Chains A and B, each alone.
Chain A
Amino acid sequence: MEDRNFEKLASEAAAGLAKDPELYLDVKQELESHLEETADRFLGAGNDTEASAELAEKAFGSPLDVAAELLAANKRRMRLRALIRLALGALVIPVAVLLAVYMGYGRMARAQSNLATMTALIGAGEPRVKLPEPPFASRLFARPGASDPVLKVFTDGIDKPERIRAYWLAHQDERGSEMFYAYYTVTLCHHYQNKDKGEYPEYVRGLRDGEKVEPQNALYNVLLADYYLMRGLREMPANVKKQ
């Protein structure tokens, strides 16, 4: 059974809680539900709908009396909830700003790191894009690679090309996974640069496979040409070099 007057009665009885809208609506709904249950009982006892509603309202008594009792009972709870809301409101905005700065800086740092590696590799010098120095709070929180598995592969990967290759193997069916393979060959290139620049079959195999992974990417051809050029120069007899 529903009665618009039940809503009015319940609203009046819960009116003292209006400063806490969530609590107010909850208590109002509870009282309305109670009035409906009472009216149903009168209906079940043989009264018609209208008489049942009237009897339920009468049994409810004065909504002002109920309101005073409810306000007194909920005052402490309302104060506590208001304090919690205030504290949350004061915390949410700074935390959101810090999080946004952290995430944004993490992404920029990774982008810059990749750009620097690639430009160094092809000999284009320093990257043109310079990131501004992040604020202290960002430096404090910005630890790209600390927990993110992808970032970890990238930040630790310079010394561990096999880890990057394993990551690519696990994700090679995914869109954009060629980037990981390219990065794998870049790390091999770092190793090659740091070695005595002698034979490095793993590097050559990696570049050859790279041509199959991403045929349209000239990176592999360039690196392979560089490798053979350097090898040729090293093995060239001294008298030919002079000429």
Chain B
Amino acid sequence: MAFNTELVGSTVEMLVMKLLSERAMYGYEIIQVVNQRTEGAFNWKEGTLYPVLHRLEGDGLLASEWQTGDTGKKRKYYKLTSRGLAHAEEKASQWRVFSRSVNSVLCETAG
């Protein structure tokens, strides 16, 4: 299913921050984890993910660091800053209330 661009755009930031609250990850890894967990429903591209990562980093919510992996490849790992962690929790909390509200309308049976 192809999702509406605005709908996807509004959730990318929150999902990225949720994943990075679990551990530090590099861009390609984030895309893989999202694809796995959504069973391919979200097919994020580079143009979707990297601008969000850079914007969050510019806002001081993420910090990045180049690291060399076991294979000798250099990867840029992102992690949440303390401000980012608080922001991620707030966003997740907002989303839970929002989605519950939307679902309560969508799932209500007439009668």
Taking CB atoms and an 8 Å cut-off, the chain A residues in 29-76 that contact chain B are 29-31, 33-34, 36-38, 59-61, 65-66, 69-70, 72-74, 76
Range class of the A interface residue count: 20 to 34
**Looking across the interface, which residue of chain A has its beta carbon closest to that of B56?**
A73
**Looking across the interface, which residue of chain A has its beta carbon closest to that of B45?**
A61
B51 within 8 A of A: yes
Beta-carbon contact of B46 and A27 below 8 Å: no
Give min CB distance, A40 to chain B, whole Å: 9
Q: Tell me what chain B mostly uses at the interface: helix, strand, loop, or mixed.
A: helix
Beta-carbon contact of A74 and B58 below 8 Å: yes
A77 within 8 A of B: yes
Give min CB distance, A22 to chain B, whole Å: 13
Give min CB distance, B44 to chain A, whole Å: 11
Beta-carbon contact of A36 and B51 below 8 Å: no
In the bound assembly, the distance between CA atoms of A33 and B73 in angstroms comes to: 8
Give min CB distance, B42 to chain A, whole Å: 15
Beta-carbon contact of B51 and A70 below 8 Å: yes
Beta-carbon contact of B54 and A70 below 8 Å: yes
Residues of the A chain whose Cβ atoms lie less than 8 Å from the Cβ of B58: 73-74, 76-77, 80
Bits for B29-54, please: 1 = Cβ < 8 Å to A, else 0. 00000000000000001111011101
Q: Which of B47, B54, B74 contacts A33 (CB 8 A)?
A: B74
Q: Which of B26, B28, B47, B74 contacts A61 (CB 8 A)?
A: B47
**Looking across the interface, which residue of chain B has its beta carbon closest to that of A72?**
B51
Beta-carbon contact of B46 and A60 below 8 Å: yes
B83 within 8 A of A: no
Taking CB atoms and an 8 Å cut-off, the chain A residues in 9-24 that contact chain B are 13
Residues of the B chain whose Cβ atoms lie less than 8 Å from the Cβ of A77: 54, 57-58
Residues of the A chain whose Cβ atoms lie less than 8 Å from the Cβ of B54: 27, 70, 73-74, 77
Beta-carbon contact of A33 and B51 below 8 Å: no
Residues of the B chain whose Cβ atoms lie less than 8 Å from the Cβ of A38: 28
B75 within 8 A of A: yes
In the bound assembly, the distance between CA atoms of A31 and B76 in angstroms comes to: 10
* Other A-B pairs beyond A33-B26, A66-B50, 9, CB < 8 Å: A26-B76, A29-B76, A30-B76, A38-B28, A61-B45, A65-B47, A70-B47, A73-B52, A77-B54
Pull 9 A–B residue pairs with CB atoms less than 8 Å apart, ordered by A: A27-B50, A29-B74, A33-B28, A33-B73, A33-B76, A59-B45, A60-B45, A73-B52, A74-B55
